[in-house]
A and B are shown apart, each in its own frame.
Chain A
Amino acid sequence: MLSPIMGLFSLKVLIPWILAMIFGIFVGATPGLTATMAVALLIPITYYVDPRAAFAMILGVSFTAIFAGDIPATFLRIPGTPASGVAVLDGFEMNKKGKGALALSIDLLGSALGGLFGILLLIFIAPSLAKFALKFTNFEYFWLGVFGLSMTAIISRGKIVNGFISAIIGLAISTIGIDITTGYPRFTFGNTNLIGGISFIPVMIGLFGLSEILKNLTKKEELGAPTIKGFGKLPFLEAIKTIWNYKLRFLISSIIGVFIGALPGAGADIAAWVAYGAAKNTSKNKNEIGTGHVEGVLAPTSANNAALGGTWIPAFVFGIPGDTITAIVLGAMLMYGLRPGPHIFSQSRNLMNSIFAIGIISQILLIPLGFLGIKASGQLLKSPRNIIWIGVVFFSIIGSYAINNNFFDIYMMLLAGLVGFFLEKLDVPLAPLILGLILGPMIENNLRVGLIKTGGNFLPFTTRPISLTIIVIMFLVLFGGNIISFILRLFRGKNNESSKSIN
């Protein structure tokens, strides 16, 4: 048991591992370069190293990239990766209050602990959770998508109608491109660039990043000021204290992350949104979440890194990739002669033990490396705004181009930036639009395939036990608080009446 783990500490494993994690920080923090891209870029290099080093590089890079995506999201409102979309809410709001360093310290520790939690669950309950996840059919996935979309009501900060309008716009955009069920191109107007649909990274960069810069251009007097304020020492002790104070929130969010990560097709981005929505609706600080509260930072960050552990559950146990990263890695595993499946734990026990150990050690390594990443970004962003903004604009442009090596994505980013600018002027929140865009295909495809299976009958969507459970949970999350306060009011009213009659 110990020898495969001790082997991880040899230089031929440790050096590529740490270099890969530093690479992950760079890629994750660069708008337009995703964790998937980081893994894909590393795969050819892994052919030349020890298999344990290869897995260490892949796992390490994915964990660091997901975390590092939160750095530009917190400092500049530009999500580095899709899973960092939520960090533009409370993380950025905290940064505006001069608490960016605290937000990112919580983010870093939350990511490492969330990731650790995900790996531990992977070790102990992988097979049983994977079996449960496989019971999900189109009906359940449809409700899961609706559940995710219902978070709009929670994240819209009191502008529920505008939030739903935003989500509907996102859903509308998600219908552009080839229809998966029939192969018919919809709303493409003969433009080949639209056939694959709208990539949501340029949309996210434009919607949050470019629109923020356009908005700031209207503040001429602040052009020479530092881009971020109040960035000094990283308050790690305060971050540890905060996580301890909100340990239950951390635990719930991590469980949500692992569970959603274990569902093939769902991923770290959806996990982060659902965990944030759950925090916003069930926390006693729900009114402050969204305005720059630590709980709004901790919930999504622990969920998205925990989800990474979750995605490995169906990948290892059944060979079903939970997201694009695991899909790439499954290919690499076959290359190393590893056949994912229920027998992998007995047939390749040594390598599996090494992989689990890599997962755990990666979380520990993430803390110092992430610390350096935050420090470097913080120092850089002390430069004047007029310089940083131009740099960010060009990184956003080239990052959008980099997705498909296509200029068309730059125009999409520009259009999204304009739409974001005007929607914010009209008090329409932007986050639900991304939610609609991400969840649109999941909702539509599962609804349609489900309806085809049932001959157009919607009733089976509501009668299956897991579907019904999701509906009940959704109902409770959305209306539970109101119902409880209504019952309490009713109860108090009765008590008052009876005490009056006694008097």
Chain B
Amino acid sequence: MKEKLESALGKVVFGIVLSILGIFMILYSRTFPKVRSGGDVMTGPNFFPTIIGILMITFGIYTIIANLRSMKDVSEKVEKNGSSFYKSWEFLTFLIFLLFIAIYPTVINYLGFFIGTFLFCFILMKRLHAKWVTSIVASIIIVFVSWVIFGKIAFIGLPMGIIFTGR
């Protein structure tokens, strides 16, 4: 029951975000230059974003209305029990993954591709309960295989690290 309420509430919030994005698209695209030909205004760069903005607002409002109704029905019967995903080990792991991916570019820029990738692989594998030896061996394999495929075969320039190269 609680999940249903969360889902309906989530959809209402999604509808609001969609509508706000639609309004933003329309207003922002009004700042784009107009295209004129012989005095007539032609379809300019704002034409398509405006149509999409209108569609976003329409669907946003529809989502809000459709789910507000179902939210009312459910909230009358809501029971407050059971553990939430947002307080669990899984949620913390979820956040750690996001954080690690977000800081990975900065880390490999400084530490270089080899050390940075190895460290991140190892820490994340340990977080997912992999054994010590497995984590070390698998991390080395991942680093090596990705270096061969991307660095050697596809000629992608992988960062060597500011602390080693000085730039």
Contacts and interface: CB of A to CB of B under 8 A. Distances in A.
Bin the interface of chain A by size.
35 or more
Contacts of A414: 98, 101-102
Interface string A423-459: 0011110000000000000001001100110011000
A401 B156 contact: yes
A168 B21 CA distance: 11
A219 B89 CA distance: 10
B87 interface: no
B89 A182 contact: no
A447 B51 CA distance: 12
A410 B105 contact: yes
Interface in B59-102: 59, 62-63, 85, 89-90, 93-94, 97-98, 101-102
B5 interface: no
Nearest to B35: A182
Given A171-B52, A217-B93, A402 B130 contact: no
A426 B94 contact: no
Interface in A180-230: 181-182, 184, 186-187, 210, 213-214, 217-220, 223-224
Contact of A456 (B43, B142, B149): B43
A391 B140 CA distance: 11
A411 interface: yes
B129 interface: yes
B144 to A, nearest CB: 11
A184 B45 contact: yes
Given A171-B52, A401-B156, A387 B134 contact: yes
B115 interface: no
Interface string A387-410: 101110111011101100101001
Given A181-B35, A393-B124, A422-B14, 5 more contacts: A165-B18, A168-B59, A171-B52, A172-B25, A186-B49
B132 interface: no
B48 A175 contact: yes
18 contacts: A26-B149, A41-B155, A165-B18, A168-B59, A169-B56, A172-B25, A172-B49, A184-B32, A218-B90, A220-B89, A385-B128, A390-B128, A394-B117, A394-B142, A395-B146, A398-B117, A447-B43, A456-B42
Contacts of A33: 149-150, 154
Interface string A5-42: 00000000000000000010011001001000100010
Contacts of B139: 390
Contacts of A41: 153-155
Given A161-B62, A407-B105, A387 B146 contact: no
B52 A172 contact: yes
Nearest to B104: A397
A30 B7 CA distance: 35
Contact of A448 (B10, B43, B124, B138): B43
Contacts of B154: 27, 33, 37, 41, 402
Contacts of A214: 94, 97-98
B135 to A, nearest CB: 8
B45 A390 contact: no
Contacts of B98: 214, 414, 418
A402 B150 contact: yes
A435 to B, nearest CB: 14
A164 interface: yes
A186 B149 contact: no
Contacts, number: 157
Contacts of A398: 117, 146, 150, 156, 158
A389 B45 CA distance: 42
Nearest to A182: B45
Contacts of B45: 179, 181-182, 184, 186
A384 interface: yes
B149 A30 contact: yes
A153 to B, nearest CB: 14
B162 interface: no
A393 B101 contact: yes
Nearest to B37: A452
A217 B14 contact: no
A415 to B, nearest CB: 10
A447 B93 CA distance: 46
Contacts of B97: 213-214, 217, 393
Contact of A405 (B62, B117, B124, B156): B156
Nearest to B109: A407
A353 interface: no
Interface in A344-389: 384-387, 389
A220 B52 contact: no
Contact of B128 (A181, A223, A425): A223
B121 A426 contact: no
A182 to B, nearest CB: 5
A363 B33 CA distance: 51
Contacts of A26: 149, 153
B120 A184 contact: no
Interface in B18-53: 18, 21, 25, 28-29, 32-33, 35, 37, 40, 42-45, 47-49, 52
Contacts of A417: 101
A418 B18 CA distance: 16
B48 A217 contact: no
Contacts of B93: 217
A186 B153 CA distance: 36
Contacts of B11: 426-427
Contact of B49 (A175, A389, A391, A405): A175
CB-based closest 8 A-B pairs: A386-B128, A407-B105, A179-B45, A444-B48, A218-B90, A402-B156, A451-B43, A448-B43
B157 interface: yes
B81 to A, nearest CB: 19
B165 to A, nearest CB: 16
B102 to A, nearest CB: 6
A252 B60 CA distance: 37
Contacts of A387: 125, 130, 134, 138
